[in-house]
Amino acid sequence: MNLIIYSISLSIIAGIMCLFIPKRTRGVAETLGVIVSLVTFIMTIMMFGREFVSKWFLIDNLSRFVVMGIGMFGFLIVLYSLKYMQGRDRINEYYAYLLITIGASIGAVLSNHLILLLVFWGVLGLTLYMLVGIGGSDASSTAKKTFIIIGGSDVIMILGVAVTWVLGKTFIMSGIEVSVNSGMSMLAFICLAVAAFAKAGAMPLHSWIPDCAEKAPVSVTAFLPASLDKLVGIYFLGRISMKMFVLNKAMGQMLLIIGAITIVAAVMMALIQHDFKRLLGYHAVSQVGYMVLGIGTCSPIGIAGGLFHMLNNTIYKCCLFLGSGAVEKRTKTSDLDKLGGLARFMPVTFVTFVIAALSISGVPPFNGFVSKWMIYQGIVDLGRKGDKLWLVWMVAAMFGSALTLASFMKLIHAVFLGQREGGEKVKEVSSLMWIPMVVLAGLCMIFGVLAFTVPLEKFILPAVPGVSFTGLFSPSLVTLMIILGVILGLIIYMLSNFKNIREDSLPYIGGEELPVETRVTGVDFYRSIKDSKILGGIYRAADKKSFDIYDVAKRVLNYFIGMLKYLHSGLLSNYVIWVVAGILVLLIVLMKGSI
Amino acid sequence: MKILFQYIIFPGFLFTAIVGMIASWIDRKVTARVQWRVGPPILQPLYDFIKLLGKEIIIPKGASRGTFLLSPVFGMSAIVIVSTMLWLVILSPENSFTGDLIVILYLLVIPSIAVIIGAFASKNPLASLGASREMKLILAYELPFILIVFIPVIKAGYTIKLGELLAFQAKNGVFLNHPSCIIAFIVAIMCMQAKLTLVPFDMPEAETEIMGGAYIEYSGAPLGIYKLTRMMMLFVVPMFLVIMYMGGIIFEGWHILWGILKYVLLLVIIVLIRNTSPRVRIDQAMRFFWRPMTILAVVGVCLAYLGL
């Protein structure tokens, strides 16, 4: 109990303290950030072995690995920020909000009381707004959008909590078990799920994430939309759909539909982006689809897959965003048209980025594959139970995975391989920035290769009882064979004329020398998809933001406001006519009553 | 230790390489006969490979060396894994080896990824162009391919273990007896052609347009490994279809010959398609796979649901 209170309050208090540190003394906030986040991380590790239930807090199999994830990401991001945020203003505020976010997230995950959860949830929305706002003046509209979407979903969540209270007669989450069969219970579940969707970024409440990714500082995106919000949001979705509610088929179908649409639509948008960070932002949305899909299958293996995917996604997505930050730090741009050929200059960033990119594309034996593979088994399970639509979810998930691969191939080409505009040399980023990336890329490999012995055994399977694998996959054996294959390949190289390796020919273009300005940026690789007939129309609609719930709502609102505006013409005579007409109507009504 | 033998000698690297080379020879011989030529001797693929090992390796200036040289190796190692898995399943369906249908599907994409990354690393605009075509080709065929590989899964009662799919076929007759699977098989042959990037879907390397595309800058040993990988794929990908739709190979007397015939039949189909069609453009290929092929695959799925 004390440990919980300490871990939450320490970072929140330290965060508030940061706000009052004078602006000139910069080192203080940074030191405080590193120490507090490290201590919090250690405390979350200590929490791992424990079970605890009280009126206010709860540590169980589901929440403890999520908390540990929060602690780890908190520490890594603070470490990364030391160099990344150097030279920006409002540093103290930045660390303050970062620390408060860590504390509030731990609180949200550990709370056992719905009201307490609401409080922490609200604080998270607020700090997110503040952190996005640090991106400078052009981030302010994004911050506003984020706040409106998250805040709006919070309101719905409050409604959900109220309805849940009516149904379960208690606010204590571990004491609630409602089976979803009536209209009320459906309303409660949907309301709570909406909050989880907005936080994690499932469609249609996703539109703040790509904007955020583009405008906010990379470390903020890597921290919140990419890792912490996923952990908190999907944890909450998992908690409500596994423990608090017993889902019926309709709710499962709803989750499946949302998941499938999110996967495909978001990744299709990612395919055509021109901005490094925005592209990653769309993937941050797309991957949520897999988690929702996994939980929506309602079979233990699918749910376990969804939760495992949540953990994996936070790891590789965080790594990808940090990589984009490193590139941006050195080249001062995130425009894919201008980048290229950085692999030679930034080898560490390149290798970690490729590992994370292969993980997110689900290439075996990296971690993304294992969790996707589990989700697919959940979907096959669905088919076995008689759901005829299982193949639709399967195609959405697997084809989405191919599309993900495609967009990352484009990214790897456009940023790290290929040719850069100008082409002057750059340096690798400092070790404080690449250490977090290396740690995360290492985790991608460990969680993939040792999937069954480490993450599944320790974190996921205890949280989801009754998982049985219907497929067959031994990641360690596959890894062993890949290593053997590479050794074989090297032997072939050795047998060959390897000493006579030459590096002096110019790229061959029909026998002519390649002019320096000729480059293929890779940005338009998938133009033929964008230009195709059916998809083209959808893309144009998306460009007009027709699928952005924020913009749609804004348009609807503006329409009604326009009508009201029309009435307020400012002409006195018009107003007088309205007044007289009103009085007449009143008179008639009143007289009718008296007669 | 056992795995070492399985991976390197049989049914892994060495076996796949030898059969792949023979398949490649058959391909070239049949092609030659179709064009009224004599064709190469049976050892020609081996000569080619050894010759490439002896050649100088040239890396274009400014390319990413490590990526450029390592990509072919990863592609080859993935295809050998697939081959090992498939053959161990054929040899003993009951104790399925480490990998189900989904694992195989994903591993089969790795050689293409290797080609793409290698091409990107070579810093040549034509290679980039070829690689982007390869990627679009994957997107094109993957959609119907995902649909049709799950038709046998529906038929066999929702199992994704290859061993169980084979056992089901051994008991109830091959999947190709069903109309839904015949449709699936037709789509699968088209997808296979694209997976092997053979004419009419050879736009990633299209010699006459982009001079080898993805392979343009490769020479010597890395090119040799790429060629070897492609020979292996010519063996492994049809074998996958043999397992999925034609009941695999049963190792008993005449069944062995029958099993080999199944593979040779597929190989001849591949060679004939390759020799009788012109290359299509990438957008045509995408339209082809996303419209008629996908519709056909959906029809197949519907038939499978109806129990046909």
pLDDT, tens digit (0-9, with 9 covering 90-100), for B205-227: 877 777 777 888 888 888 889 99
The average pLDDT across B279-297 equals 88
pLDDT digits (tens, 9 = 90+) for A210-269: 888 888 888 888 888 778 888 888 888 888 888 888 888 888 888 899 889 888 888 888
Closest CA to B263 of B16, B3, B9, B37: B16
A547 touching chain B per CB within 8 A = no
- A194 vs A181, which has greater pLDDT? A194
The mean per-residue pLDDT over the stretch B69-88 comes to 89
Q: Is B305 on the interface with A (CB under 8 A)?
A: yes
A497 with B55: Cβ contact below 8 A: yes
CB contact under 8 A, B125 and A518: yes
Q: Does A506 touch chain B (CB under 8 A)?
A: yes
The winner for highest mean pLDDT among A127-141, A348-362, A464-478, B96-110 is: A348-362
d(CA B279, CA B282): 9
- Does the distance separating the beta carbons of B69 and A493 come in below 8 Å? yes
In this complex, the residue of B53, B56, B158 whose CB is nearest that of residue A502 is B56
- CB interface of B with A, residues 162-191, below 8 Å: none
Compute CA distances B164 → A376, B94, B100, whole Å: 17, 7, 10
Residue corresponding to tokens 């075509």? B133
Task: Give the model's pLDDT for residue A595.
Answer: 60
Residue bearing tokens 């030679």? A344
B5 touches chain A (CB under 8 A): no
Mean pLDDT, residues A268-279 taken together: 84
The residue of A496, A498, A516, A527 whose CB has the most chain B CBs within 10 angstroms, and thus the best one to mutate to test that interface, is A496
What pLDDT score does B163 carry?
83
Q: Which of residues 22-51 of A touch B (CB under 8 A)?
A: none
Q: Do B13 and A488 touch (CB under 8 A)?
A: yes
List B residues 190-229 in contact with A (Cβ-Cβ < 8 A): 211, 216-217, 220-222, 224-225
Best mean pLDDT range from A281-285, A456-460, A467-471, A511-515: A281-285
The answer on pLDDT for A298 being more than 70 is: yes
Select the residue from B122, B132, B286 to test the A interface by mutation, using most A Cβ atoms within 10 A.
B132
The residues, any chain, with a CB within 8 Å of residue B199's CB and separated by 6 or more, are B273, B274, B275, B277, B278, B279
Residue A86's pLDDT band, with cuts at 50, 70 and 90, is confident
Q: In this model, does residue A430 exceed pLDDT 70?
A: yes
Mean pLDDT within A295-318: 89
Among candidates A350, A369, A394 on the partner chain, residue whose Cβ is nearest the Cβ of B106:
A369
Beta bridge partners of A178: A245
Residue A1 has pLDDT above 70, yes or no: no
CA distance A64 to A51: 9
Residue of B128, B143, B152 whose CA lies nearest to B60: B128
Find residues 474-503 of chain A whose CB sits inside 8 Å of chain B. Answer: 474, 477-478, 480-482, 484-486, 488-490, 492-493, 495-498, 500-503
Whether residue A168 contacts residue A176, with contact meaning beta carbons closer than 8 Å, is answered with: yes
Res. A594: pLDDT tops 90: no
The answer, yes or no, to whether residue A423 has pLDDT greater than 80, is no
Domain boundaries, chain A: 247-493, 549-594
Helix then strand then coil, in percent of chain A rounded to 5, is 75, 5, 25
- Domain that residue B97 falls in: 2-305
What does the pLDDT average to over A285-296? Answer: 90
B132 chain-A contacts, CB cut-off 8 A? 410, 413, 522, 525-526
| CB-based contact B121 A343, cutoff 8 Å | yes
Mean pLDDT, residues B126-148 taken together = 88
Chain B residue nearest residue A403, CA to CA: B139
d(CA B114, CA A513): 27
**Window 440-479 of A, Cβ < 8 Å to B:** 470-474, 477-478
Q: Between chains, do A472 and B117 touch, taking CB under 8 Å as contact? A: no
Which token pair is A282?
């769309």
B284 close contact with A: CB closer than 8 A: no
**Averaging pLDDT over each range in A59-68, A566-575, B54-63, which range is the top one?**
A59-68
Distance CA(A157)–CA(A198), nearest Å, equals 10
pLDDT digits (tens, 9 = 90+) for A372-401: 998 998 888 888 887 888 888 989 899 899
Least confidently predicted of A99-103, A211-215, A590-594: A590-594
**φ, ψ at A18 (rounded to 5°):** -55, -35
* CB-CB contact of B26 with B271 (8 Å): yes
- What does the alpha-carbon distance between residue A477 and residue A299 come to, in Å, rounded to a whole number? 27
Give the pLDDT confidence score for residue A505 in this predicted structure. 65
Say what the pLDDT of residue A583 is: 93
Greater confidence, A318 or B204?
Answer: A318
Average pLDDT taken over every residue of chain A: 84
pLDDT of residue B145: 92
Q: Report the number of distinct structural domains present in chain B.
A: 1
Mean pLDDT of A542-551: 75
Partner residue facing A391 (CB), from B100, B283, B301:
B301
Distance CA(A316)–CA(A352), nearest Å, equals 9
Q: When comparing pLDDT for B241 and A499, which is higher?
A: B241
Instruction: Determine the pLDDT at residue B125.
Output: 81
Residues of chain A neighbouring B57 (CB-CB closer than 8 A) = 496-498, 500-502
Q: How far is B305 from chain A (nearest CA, A)?
A: 8
Q: What is the mean pLDDT of the segment spanning A105-109?
A: 89
Q: What is the DSSP string of A320-369?
A: HHHHHHHHHHHHS--BTTT----TTT-HHHHHHHHHHHHHHTT-TTSHHH
List all residues of chain A from 319 to 378 with a beta carbon under 8 Å from chain B. Answer: 341, 343-344, 350, 354, 358, 362-364, 369, 373, 376-377
| B56 Cβ contact partners less than 8 Å away, ≥ 6 residues apart | A497, A500, A501, A502, B219, B220
pLDDT of residue B96: 59
Cite the beta strand spans of A156-315 per DSSP E: 178-179, 245-246
Distance of alpha carbon A430 from alpha carbon A83, whole angstroms: 8
Name the residue with higher pLDDT: A520 or A100. A100
| Chain A partners within 8 Å of B136 (Cβ) | 406, 525-526, 528-529
Taking contacts as CB-CB distances below 8 angstroms, the residues of chain A near B135 are 405-406, 409-410, 525
- Average confidence (pLDDT) over B57-76: 84
**A-B contacts at Cβ under 8 angstroms:** 254
Is pLDDT above 80 for B181?
Answer: yes
Cβ–Cβ gap A481/B7 under 8 Å: yes
pLDDT in tens, A24-36: 776 788 888 888 8
Please tell me which residue of chain A has the smallest CA distance to B219. Answer: A501
Q: What is the pLDDT of residues A324-350, one digit of tens each?
A: 888 888 888 777 777 777 878 888 888
Chain A residues touching B78 at Cβ < 8 A = 482, 485
Beta-strand relationship, A58-59 and A52-53? antiparallel
For residue A506, pLDDT over 70 is answered with no
- Contact across the interface for B64 and A343, Cβ inside 8 Å: yes
Chain A positions touching B280 (Cβ under 8 A) are none
Tokens of B271: 């060679």
The interface predicted TM-score of the complex, written ipTM, equals 0.90
Contact call for A388 and B305, based on CB within 8 A: yes
Contact A507/B64, CB-based, under 8 Å? no
Query: Cβ of B102 and A373 within 8 Å?
Result: yes
